[in-house]
Every structure is written in structure tokens, then in C-alpha cells.
Structure 1
Amino acid sequence: MKIDWFTVIAQIINFVVLMWLLKKFLYRPILSAIDERESNIKKQLLAAESQKKEADQAKDEFNHKNEIFNKEKDVLMQKAADEAKAEADRLKASARDEANKLKNSLEKAFAEDQAIKNDNMTKRLKGEVLDIARKTLKDLSSVSLEDQTVAVFLKRLNGLKADEKTKFSEALRGGKAILVQSAFALSGEQRALVKKAISSLLKPDSIFEFKIQPELINGIEILTNGYKLSWSVAEYLGSFAEDVEVATK
């Protein structure tokens, strides 16, 4: 078989030209595209890795912040609970103090009211007893209660012991007016009896001053230079008044 070298050479040349054309216009763009795609894939993978790291870092940071928040939340909750308890204790103590103050005020007001009632009752009872004593004395004798009071006082004055009589005489010689106070107005005769009894203990030219003092409760007292000599129904009503006060509590 005869080889057509011209044809062979032409085909070789055509093949070489085809390969050059393919390489220039087909393979190189494809390879470039493949390289570019690989480069893009590598970039995407690197970006994804970076995003993953950032995500992990953000997750760790979030977990850390969440842990800190939980700790701070627990501290704040405990602090709020402590403050609420302290405020509740303060309000309870304040309410207790106010209740005690109110209780004390009520007890004081009640005690004052009872004291006023007892005092009024004591005064009323004393007055009633005094009226009864006056009526009884009038029924039993012809002497009034005032006359009997003066008589008892003069009896006490004349019955002073020696040392008391000395003290009284010294006080009467002080030069000041002798104050005679009585729960009722003394008649002229009663004043004369008192002056006569006192004058027996000092000089007769002494100055007397007579005053009415209802608080003595049907009594008489002599005041001069700090010395006092007295007698009144109150001395006998004292124990009775105490019994009344105990009974009315």
C-alpha cells in the first residue's frame, strides 16, 4: 500500500493546528474557569471557616455574657429579696411601735378618765359622807358640825404636848400675822374662842387673819412662820377615800 505522505503531513499539520486552536480557544478558558472556580470555592471555604470561627466566638461570648447575667440576676434577686425583707421588717416594727403608742395612749387616756371618774366619785362620796355626818351630828346633838369642828380643833390645840406647845409658841412669836383658815366662815363667837386659845400661848396683841379654805373639808388650820396646826374631817375620810378608789378601779 502506497502512503500518501502529503496527506499524512497535512493531517498532522491539521491536528497540530487543531490542538493549538483547542488549547488556545477551548482548553485554556476551561482551565481558567476551573482554576477560578476552585479559587472561588477555596475563598468560600475560607469565608465559611472564618464565619464558623466568628460564630463560635460569638457563641462563646454569648454564653459568657449569659453566665454573667445569670450571676448578676441571682445577686440582684437576692439583693431585692433582702431589701424587701428589710422593708417588711421595718414596716412591721413601725406598725408595732404605732400600735404600742396607740395602746399606751389609750391606756393613759383610760387611766386619766378613770382617775377623773374616781376623783369625782371620791369628792362626791366625801361630800355625801360630810353631809351625812353633819345631819347625823345635828340629829344626835344640838351642836352644829361647824361648832363641833371648832371644839375638836380647840381641844387638840389645848392638848398639845409640851415640846409641840413650845414649837408652836416660838412660831407664834415670829411677829407675823397668824393665819387661821377654815372650810367654812367662822362666826364672831368661834373666832373669839380661837383667839383666846391661841393667846394663851403668846402675847395677847397678836394680829389674826381669817380665811375660808373649802379644800380643808370641814376643818381648821393655823399657819404662822412655817408652822402649821390643823384638823379636818379629811383625816378621817382618808382611809375611806383609799378604799373607795380601790373599789372603783
Structure 2
Amino acid sequence: MKINWFTLIAQIINFLVLMWLLKRYLYKPILNAIDERENKIVAQLKDAEAKKAEAEKERNEFKKKNETFDRQKGELMQKAIEESNAEGLKIKEEARNEANALKAKLEKNIQDSQENRNREIAQKIQQEVVTITKKTLTDLSSASLEEQSVLTFIKKINELKEDEKQKLILTLTSRKNPILVKSAFKLSNKQQTEIQQSINAVLDVESQFQFKIAPELIIGIELSANGYKLSWSISEYINSLEKSMNDSAKENVKTALEKG
């Protein structure tokens, strides 16, 4: 068989041209389209992964926010409960304080009322005691009640204990002003002289005296100088009686309130 080389070569050339044409105008666009499609798919997959990651991140953030919200809600509830309890305790304490203040005010009003009644009673007793005492002493003694008071005061000076006498001497000898002698009644010149002589005898020195009437002493005499006082009066006994009555009244009020 004879080979036609021209035809063979032409066919080969045609085949090569065809292959070149196919590659240039068919295979290459197809391959490019495939690559482009593949790249697009890869990009879509990456975008999907990114969106999935973003969604996962948002889900985690949302979950975290929910947990934070639940924790804050629990803390706020606990704080509200604590504040409510504290406010309740505060209200109870204020109510208790108000009740105690009201009770104290009531006790004071009762006490003041009782003390006012006791004071009125004491004043009446003082008046009665003074009247009865003056009448009794006048009936029992040839001297008047005032004279008896002066004698009693002088006797008290003369019968001072040694330590009290030294205190009297130290106080009266260090004074700058005259010795003040107050009495509930006016002292006669004789009575003033007797008191001066008694005090000078104790001091062993002549002293200056000032005499003053003080009705509040209630038949009594008081010597004072530099804050030192030496006295005798019926008011001392009456004050003792009044104090005893007040103490007894206070105790009765306290007992009544405790029972109430």
C-alpha cells in the first residue's frame, strides 16, 4: 500500500490546527469557566464558613449576655431583698424608738404629774409642820422659837467635830469678805452678838459679820463664806421628808408602769 505523504502531513497539520483552535476557543474558556466556578464555590464556602463563624460568635455572645443578664437579675433581686429587709428592720427600729420615746414621755408626764402633786402636798406639809412645830416649841419652852433656833445654832457651832472645826477655821480665816449669817427671822442685837462671840471663839480672832434675812430657811440660821456653809433649820428636816416622799412616789410610779 502506497502512503500519500502529502495527505498525511496535511491531516496532521489539520489535526494540530484543530487542537490549537479547540484549546484556544473551547477548552481554555471551559477551563477558565470551571476555575471561575470553582473559585466562586470556594469563595461561597469561605463566606458560608465566615457567616457560620459569625453566627456562632453571635450565639456565644447572646448566650454570654443572657448569662450576664441572669446573673445581674439575680444580684438585683438579692439586693432588692436585702434592701427590703434592711428597710423593714429600719422601720421596725424607728417604730420601736418611737414607742420607747412615747413610753418615756408618758413616764415623764406621769412622773412630773406625781412630782407636782407631791410638791403641793409637801408645801402643805411644810406649812403644817412649821405651824405645829412653832406652837409645840413655844408651848414646851419659855423661850420663843426664834431664840431656841439661835441657841440650837450656837450649840451646833460649839459641838463641831475637830475635823469640821479645822475646816471652818481654814475657810473663814482665808476669806476676803465679811462672814455672812442668814436667818429666817430678824436677829436681835443680843442674838447677833452671841453668834459673833461663838464664831470668834472658834476662830480665836475678831471677824467682820454681815447679817441677812432669808425666809426660805424656814426658822433657821445659815453661815456661809468662800463656798462653805454651816446651817440649822427646820427646812432641812422638811426637805428630808420631801425627798423621802418623792422617792416613794417615784418607786410607786415605776412599779405601776412595770405592771402596766
Match of 1:123 among 119, 139, 156: 119
Distance 1:209 1:134, change over 3 A: same
Deviation at 1:126, TM superposition (A): 2.8
Distance 2:118 2:210 in 1: 31
1:84 matches 2:84: no
How many Å separate the matches in 1 of 2:146 and 2:111? Answer: 30
Structure 2: stretches of 5+ with no match in the other structure? 1-33, 254-260
Q: Aligned residues, how many?
A: 207
* Inter-partner Cα distance in structure 2 for 1:119 and 1:147: 35
**Inter-CA distance 168–111: structure 2 relative to 1 (3 Å threshold):** same
The alignment's C-alpha RMSD in Å is 4.2
- Aligned residue runs from structure 1 range 191-202, under 5 A: 192-202=190-200
Larger mean Cα displacement after TM superposition, 83-92 or 141-150: 141-150
Instruction: Name the % identity.
Output: 26
1:181-192 superposed matches below 5 A = 181-182=182-183, 184=184, 186-189=185-188, 192=190
2:234 corresponds in structure 1 to 233
Separation in 2, partners of 1:241, 1:92: 46
For the residue of structure 1 that corresponds to 2:121, the secondary structure is helix
Structure 1 residues 74 and 212, CA, compared in 2 at 3 Å: closer, same or farther? farther
Shift of 1:218: 4.7
- Superposed CA deviations along residues 75-108 of structure 1, whole A, max 9, x for unmatched, are 1111211221332244234334534543454455
8 A contact 1:220–1:230 mirrored in 2: yes
The 8 Å contact of residues 138 and 145 in structure 1, kept in 2 or not, is answered as yes
Matched, 1:247 2:249: yes
CA distance in 1, matches of 2:199, 2:227: 17
Distance 1:61 1:146 in 2: 112
Q: Which of 115, 132, 135 does residue 136 from structure 1 map onto?
A: 132
**Match of 1:199, as an amino acid?**
Q
Residue 16 of structure 1: aligned partner = none
1:196 offset after TM fit, Å?
Answer: 1.0
Distance 1:239 1:82 in 2: 64
Question: Does the CA-based 8 Å contact 2:115-2:246 persist in structure 1?
Answer: no
For 1:167 and 1:55, locate their aligned partners in 2 and report how far apart those are by CA, in whole Å: 108
Match of residue 65 from structure 2:
69
Note the C-alpha offset of 1:242.
3.1
- Residue 82 of structure 1 aligns to a residue whose secondary structure is helix
Q: Report the secondary structure of 1:160's partner residue.
A: coil
* Residues 126, 241 of structure 1: 8 Å contact kept: no
In structure 2, distance between residues paired with 1:211 and 1:174: 21
Provide TM-score, normalisation by structure 1.
0.59
Q: Deviations over 1:2-39 (max 9, x none)?
A: xxxxxxxxxxxxxxxxxxxxxxxxxxxxxxxxxxxxx9
Matched letter for residue 156 of structure 2: R
Counterpart Cα distance in 1 of 2:164 and 2:53: 112
Q: Distance in 2 between matches of 1:240 and 1:201?
A: 31
Q: TM-score, normalised by structure 2?
A: 0.57
Letter in 1 for 2:83: E
| Aligned-partner SS, 2:199 | coil
2:10 corresponds to: none
Q: What is the CA-CA distance between 1:223 and the residue it aligns to?
A: 0.9
Query: Which segments of 5 or more consecutive residues in structure 1 lack a partner in the other structure?
Result: 1-38
